[in-house]
Structure 1
Amino acid sequence: MTGPAARAAAGACLLPRTAVHHSEGVDSRESDYARPAGDVKALMIFLSFPDAVPDLTPQEVVADHFPATSRFFAAASYGQFRLHVHPVTRWLRMPHPSTDYLINRDWDAADRTDYLRDALRVADPVVDFHGYDVVYLVADPDAPGVDSDATKVVNLAAPVTVDGNPLRRLVTVFERHPPDRNVLAHETGHVYDLPDLYYRPPAGSNADWDTHVGDWDLMGSQFGLAPEPFAWHKWKLGWLAPGQVGCVARTGVTYHDLTPDETPGGPKLVVVRTGPDQALAVEARTRTGNDATTCAEGVLVYRVRSDRESGDGPVDVMDGHPATSACPGTSVYPPLADAPLGVGESWAAPDGSTQVTVTGRAQDGTWTVRITQRLPRTAGARG
């Protein structure tokens, strides 16, 4: 079944969806994932434990995440995705102390299953699950066994049906108060099939988590200065209309206009096909909307791979200024904070196959880019 993304550009630029988790392929969509479109109802349930008395009211916890999360998606989707939260108004007590569940980032599957089973059991008698597309299970952040690093979306091998509603994934929230910025928007992105874009170093390594995309797109870092979703993700989610995506699939020189990713209307994305499962994406980013705190403005170039799973580098931002960094006090990864290209600047692929040059910026904010596509040097060499 082809999804909304499949209708947005010529077939030559549609990366195939592969079997990897949260594939960045856009030629079809996974039917198990709901569409982030229209008015969507989210249920928020609050869980306490026998070994702690909550210091916060449910209303205070809701305010940690809403209306900020709804506003984020309303802006990112240009008003097409409207998320409405319906919170339970009291804490529901779990049957065991928080420490019994051994909550942590790399949660044992059996312990996590026990937690989910107990959570649904205590909620089912008092909560009507019918009609909700998203379910947030929010733990008392001050309970001794709660680890804020364990917040994640749990994908169930088989859906659990509660009140006639088949639940395929649940958002388990263990955030401290106040929470990380945009954390719930990040997790909600997973509910709609967006991958993690950060790199998780091996245990004991001092490597940086944010080398792939830096501040760009909240699926990389919820602390990022430019959390607006990549235009590629908006294409994948169906938020871009057919005329807003351009395709370069042959050699030659082409010119393209780009309006900022953060603002409604106009062309948003140019895709340069570079391989069976790879493409370059080109978009404009400016200091407005969800990106009001961005470190730099300009034209952003990034590589997308549909054969890389969530957390394994499906997206890499190309550094337009590799000799410099920026915003060391606020950026999650300063080397990429100044990645966008300004007027008159270019980025070229190492093999010489693609060059992206920013040729102008109009008074209305539209950026113009020239894309030169050649045969790679290795392909054109003769011995």
Structure 2
Amino acid sequence: MPGRPRGARSAAAAVCVFGALVAWTLATGPSAQAAPASAACLLPRTSLHHSEGVDSAPGGYAKARGDVKALMVFLSFPDAPPALTPREVAADHFPATGDFYDQASYGQFRLHLHTVDRWLPMPHSATAYAISRDWRAADRTAYLRDALTTADPVVDFSGYDVVYLVADPGAPGVDSDATKVVNLAAPVTLDGNPLARLVTVFERHPPDRNVLAHETGHVFDLPDLYYRPPAGSNADWDTHVGDWDLMGSQFGLAPEPFAWHKWKLGWLAPGQVGCVTGTGTTYHDLSPDETRGGTKLLVVRTGADTALAIEARTAAGNDRTACRQGVLLYRVRSDRESGAGPIDVIDGHPGHSACAATSVYPPLADAPLGVGESYALPDGTTRVTVTGHEPDGDWAVKVTESLPGGEDAGRPG
């Protein structure tokens, strides 16, 4: 559906409302209501960017619940007439992005796209803005100022929680590595709508799979889970979570959000999160993260800002290309910001790899534990054993909590 046209308004007004300087990481605090469980397992929200804490409500982020309106604005450049129509570019990303979140949220989050069905001309060529992944602040600010000045007289921004600024994918100087969410130091108010962040899209045609779903996750306060190596390093980007969760890699074989993120976004009911406390042995049935209903997440608090998360994964829905199924374990830290390793998947089969031809990081592609397998934390306090796989798809799990120093700590069984 096209954005509603409006009467022309002074472009100078748009420049004035864009007086705030842009910063990539000034917005803080998670984006969604945490489902209540035991207070012992609610990691504290910290001031770090996209903290994984779930103990309090967020500030300044849109809610990924119910019907959410998104606006897509298309920007062209004077040196390169677009070869594609806005509808063709929009089809690169929708309905796939909306379908991803409808599936992931069990129908609780519906992202509705509205498009401005014509190209809006930027005043300068894309090369003039020196677009790149590590964009200079002055060039980035100039681009955003020109984009909003161009769009504001003809586009009604009111009522939208998500705004995508989409550059012509065929224009010289458009760099797909620069696609990301820009967090503003102060909201820009357009048509009475305060916008604290904008999604700048510089994708090729066709784009990377799930790229817009990944960027949209940032709008709702999900962090980057990949590792960015230092310049010149040949280290792998996907060592933290591999294929698991699209906030690690949009190319992953199992991009379904972690159950922890579903908890953070408010998609899990209170009874779907279990908190394991005290010594002794408890038994649990875990319903796969990709399917509706059942217990989705077990949490063991391991420190002031850390927890062990336990969930089941299967090859269905968004994870239909998953390499392996089973019980996935990962460490969560609320004291590490986006891109600094807030989640680490535990390799249930160290020394082994799987799906080498398709996985973004084969050593973690077979991370889930299967029936009869177990893993103990290095300090020996927690041991997780998979005792069965039920006909209805649930996985039976035994969790044993003991005092530190237990035997076989840190090794899979």
Task: State the distance in 2 between where 1:272 and 1:5 align.
Answer: 20
- Residue 12 of structure 2 corresponds to none
Please state how far the C-alpha of 1:51 moved relative to its aligned partner. Answer: 1.3
Aligned pair partner of 2:340 in 306, 312, 327: 312
Of the three residues 68, 74, 79, the one matched with 1:40 is 68
Q: Which runs of 5 or more structure 2 residues have no equivalent in the other structure?
A: 1-28, 407-413
Contact 2:228 2:237 (8 Å CA) reproduced = yes
Matching residue within 153, 178, 192 for 1:125: 153
The aligned counterpart of 1:56 is 84
Counterparts of residues 225-264 of structure 1 (less than 5 Å): 225-264=253-292
C-alpha distance in structure 1 between counterparts of 2:222 and 2:260, whole Å: 11
Following the alignment from structure 1 to structure 2, what is the Cα–Cα distance between the partners of residues 256 and 19?
Answer: 34
Give the superposition deviation at 1:24: 0.1
Kept in 1, the 8 Å contact 2:30–2:59? The answer is: no
Q: Give the deviation of 1:82 after TM superposition.
A: 0.2
Mapping 1:336-355, distance limit 5 Å:
336-355=364-383
Q: Letter of the aligned partner of 1:75 in structure 2? A: Q
Residues 2, 304 of structure 1: alpha-carbon distance in 2 compared, 3 angstrom cutoff: closer
Q: Are the equivalent residues in 2 in contact too, given 1:360–1:367 (CA < 8 A)?
A: yes
Q: Which residue of 2 aligns with 1:334?
A: 362
The Cα RMSD (Å) is 1.3
1:4 Cα deviation (Å)?
A: 6.4
TM-superposed deviation, 1:323: 2.1
Task: Determine the structure 2 residue equivalent to 1:163.
Answer: 191
Distance in 2 (alpha carbons) for counterparts of 1:153 and 1:6: 23
Query: Under a length normalisation based on structure 2, what TM-score does the superposition of the two structures give?
Result: 0.90
* Structure 1: distance between partners of 2:193 and 2:280: 52
TM-score (norm 1): 0.97
Identity of aligned residues (%): 78
Task: Tell me which of 139, 142, 161 is aligned to 2:167.
Answer: 139
Match of residue 219 from structure 2: 191
Shift of 1:377: 1.7
Shift of the alpha carbon at 1:203? 0.2
4+ aligned runs moved over 4 Å, structure 1: 1-5
1:322 counterpart residue number: 350
What's 1:30 paired with?
58
- The structural deviation recorded for 1:6 is 3.8
Cα distance in 1 between the residues matched to 2:41 and 2:282: 15
Q: Does 1:275 align with 2:327?
A: no
For residues 403 and 333 of structure 2, the distance between their equivalents in structure 1, rounded to whole angstroms, comes to 20
Structure 1: gaps of 5 or more residues: 379-383
**Match of 2:378, SS?**
coil
SS in 2 for 1:377: coil
Over 3 Å counting, the alpha-carbon distance change for 1:2 and 1:192 in structure 2 is: closer
Query: How many Å apart are 1:3 and its aligned residue?
Result: 8.6
Q: String of CA shifts for 1:145-165, please: whole Å, max 9, x gaps.
A: 111000000000100001111
* Residue number in structure 1 paired with 2:201: 173
> What code does the residue aligned with 1:282 have?
I
Following superposition, the deviation at residue 284 of structure 1 comes to 0.3
Cα pair distance change 1:2/1:93, threshold 3 Å = closer
Q: 1:4 to 1:207 in 2, by over 3 A?
A: closer
- Kindly provide the amino acid, as one letter, of the partner of residue 55 in structure 2: D
